[in-house]
């Protein structure tokens, strides 16, 4: 059916707590999607901003042979569109009728919404619930303070409905449709230092000056 490349933007705050341990807090702002499927797909910023990972405690090591720092950020399962008291252990929904499902992006529809455009004229919506499960490792570049590395994504996803219904009539309540690409070059992470004046709006306006251009193909 095709592949979709999702590029997410936001903020990563690294700090040292009172016990000397590094903490990492992430804020998601907006995302871009590139697909070779026979349709276009879009999400509102409220979808992306509904992803709210809990504080992570990365492992940091100084690599003497490379004279730089290495950081490993462990997985912190984060539910999206479904309420889970303990995301590390709670069972992911098995069908679209799970009572824990709620409107996470506040558009009046269950779960979170992906908007679809087929043939430039047919509009539709697909409703999802997800469990974001990603980890990454990266190196710091001493010359400019930038961090670069690769993400491993084991997220879970289930379609819970659509409008019109024929978009997903055989896929509702079923897992699947989410497999990370094997090409690590398409699963990279880049952290660029910015000051505290940055908001999601300012980041969106400055995106093209801070980061590489979005790929034209997934």
Could you report the per-residue pLDDT of 115-131, keeping only the tens digit for each? Answer: 999 988 899 999 999 99
3-class state of residue 139 by DSSP: strand
Q: What is the mean pLDDT of residues 189-209?
A: 97
Q: Which of 31-45, 81-95, 125-139 has the lowest mean pLDDT?
A: 31-45
Distance, CA of 45 to CA of 23 (rounded, Å): 26
CA distance linking residue 88 with residue 90, whole number of Å: 6
Identify whether 164 is preceded by a cis peptide bond (ω within 30 of 0).
yes
Cβ distance 62 to 96 under 8 Å?
A: no
How many secondary structure helices (H) and strands (E) does the chain include? 2, 12
**Residue 138 backbone dihedrals phi, psi, to 5 degrees:** -155, 160
User: pLDDT at residue 56 above 70?
Assistant: yes
What's the pLDDT band for 88 if we cut at 50, 70, 90? very high
- Backbone CA torsion sign across 94, 97, 101, 103: positive
For 159-181, write each residue's pLDDT tens digit.
999 999 988 876 776 666 567 87
Q: Is the pLDDT of residue 106 over 70?
A: yes
Residues 6 or more apart in contact with residue 48 via CB below 8 angstroms: 8, 10, 28, 29, 30, 31
């Amino acid at each position: 059916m095709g592949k979709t490349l999702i590029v997410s933007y936001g903020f990563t705050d690294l700090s040292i707590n009172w016990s000397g341990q590094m903490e990492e807090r992430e804020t998601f702002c907006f995302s871009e999607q590139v697909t070779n499927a026979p349709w276009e797909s879009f999400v509102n910023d409220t979808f992306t901003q509904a992803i709210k990972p809990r504080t992570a405690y990365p492992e940091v090591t100084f690599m003497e042979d490379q004279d730089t720092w290495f950081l490993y950020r462990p997985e912190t399962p984060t539910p999206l569109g479904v309420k889970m008291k303990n995301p590390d252990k709670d069972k992911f929904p098995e069908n679209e009728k799970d009572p824990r499902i709620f409107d996470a992006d506040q558009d009046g529809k269950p779960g979170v919404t992906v908007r679809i455009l087929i043939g430039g004229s047919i509009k539709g919506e697909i409703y999802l619930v997800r469990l974001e499960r990603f980890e990454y490792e990266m190196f710091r570049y001493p010359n400019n303070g930038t961090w670069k590395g690769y993400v491993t994504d084991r997220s879970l996803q289930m379609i819970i409905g659509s409008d019109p219904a024929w978009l997903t009539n055989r896929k509702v309540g079923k897992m699947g449709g989410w497999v990370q690409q094997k090409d690590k070059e398409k699963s990279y992470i880049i952290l660029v230092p910015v000051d505290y004046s940055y908001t999601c709006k300012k980041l969106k306006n400055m995106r093209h000056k801070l980061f590489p251009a979005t790929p034209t193909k997934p």
